[in-house]
Amino acid sequence: MYFRSLTFFSITLLFLACKPDAPAKAVPEYETIQYKGEAADEADRLIVKQFGEFKMQLSNRLMAAMKEGGPEKAIEVCQVVSPEIEKSLSGEAQVLRVSQKPRNPEHRASEVESMVLDLWAARLKEGKPIGAVVVPTETGRVVMAPIQISGEMCLSCHGIGEQIKPETAAALKKAYPSDEATGYSLNDLRGAFVARFIKK
Ligand code: HEC
């Protein structure tokens, strides 16, 4: 309960303070916000490493569940496991996955995050590489790494039309009545890992 109200508080804070001019500059140059790897400060390096762990844990659990009981079982697992990992990784920052077309309504990208997703999408269109970024905001900073539709498996729950089996579609509808996260193709940008740091 304590944790929940704390998270809620920090999200509200971020939104309130971010309203007028969300990012420090309207739209930063991509080059200025790129994550600088070894040169980045320690907290950012740790977070980017944790994004990798998040991805591993989630895909291991997802694959095991798919094998065991197909997409319907995997949806159940995703519904429990994804928020569980988010919680376990959230310390100094709030860590989560976001999207402009979320399945879980709590995963909607903020204004700043949405701006970065647009920047990445534009670069992909031009065939340019994308990677982690650190965006200063008026309230702190946001560290983000892109998530793309990396394999056929993703399409069984995020794909187009018949790629999603009727049983899967029904299970998704039941668990996520306001689901927006379908209609994707291989390599599409699906969303991002995000760590929201609030200045103390
Ligand atoms: C078995 C169905 C299933 C498969 C397969 C699947 N997902 Fe998802 N995905 C979900 C569910 C369910 C959620 C919502 C989880 C939650 O409630 O936190 C989700 C959420 C997400 C989110 C967070 C944003 C949001 O919409 O809530 C991203 C990003 C994502 N999936 C990407 C992927 C990628 C990339 C793959 C392939 C590697 C993949 N998914 C495979 C079911 C699936």
pLDDT in tens, 141-180: 999 999 999 999 999 999 999 999 999 999 999 999 999 9
Do 2 and 10 touch, CB atoms closer than 8 A? no
| Token pair for 1 | 């309960």
* CA 148 / ligand 1 centre spacing (Å): 11
Q: Which tens digit of pLDDT belongs to each residue from 127-146?
A: 999 999 999 998 899 999 99
Mean model confidence pLDDT for the chain: 88
Pocket test for ligand 1, best of 78, 164, 178 (most atoms within 8 A of CB): 78
- pLDDT for the residue 15: 45
- pLDDT for the residue 129: 96
Is 20 a residue whose pLDDT tops 90?
no
pLDDT band of 76, cuts 50, 70, 90 = confident
Classify the phi-psi angles of 145: left when phi > 0, otherwise alpha if psi is within -120 to 50, otherwise beta.
beta
Q: What residues contact 119, with CB distance under 8 A and at least 6 apart? A: 27, 30
- pLDDT for the residue 123: 97
What CA–CA distance (Å, rounded) separates 25 from 47? 23
Q: Report long-range pairs for 8-11 (Cβ below 8 Å, ≥24 apart).
A: 10/94, 10/196, 10/198, 11/94, 11/196
**Pure H helices in 19-165:** 30-33, 42-89, 111-125, 152-158
Ligand 1 binding site (Cβ under 6 Å of any ligand atom):
59, 62, 71, 74-75, 78-79, 82-83, 97, 99, 102-104, 107, 147, 149-151, 153-154, 156-158, 181, 190-191
99 pairs with which residues across the strands?
Answer: 108
Which numbered atom of ligand 1 lies nearest the CA of 181? 26
Is 59 a residue whose pLDDT tops 70?
yes
pTM of the model: 0.88
User: What are the Cα distances from residue 70, in Å, to 89, 134, 156, 164?
Assistant: 27, 37, 10, 12
* CA 67 / ligand 1 centre spacing (Å): 16
Do 113 and 149 touch, CB atoms closer than 8 A? no
Q: Which residue has the higher pLDDT, 8 or 161?
A: 161
Alpha carbon nearest to ligand 1 atom 6, residue: 154
| Best CA proximity match to 191, nearest among 154, 163, 160, 138 | 154
What CA–CA distance (Å, rounded) separates 146 from 79? 21
Is 120 a residue whose pLDDT tops 70?
yes
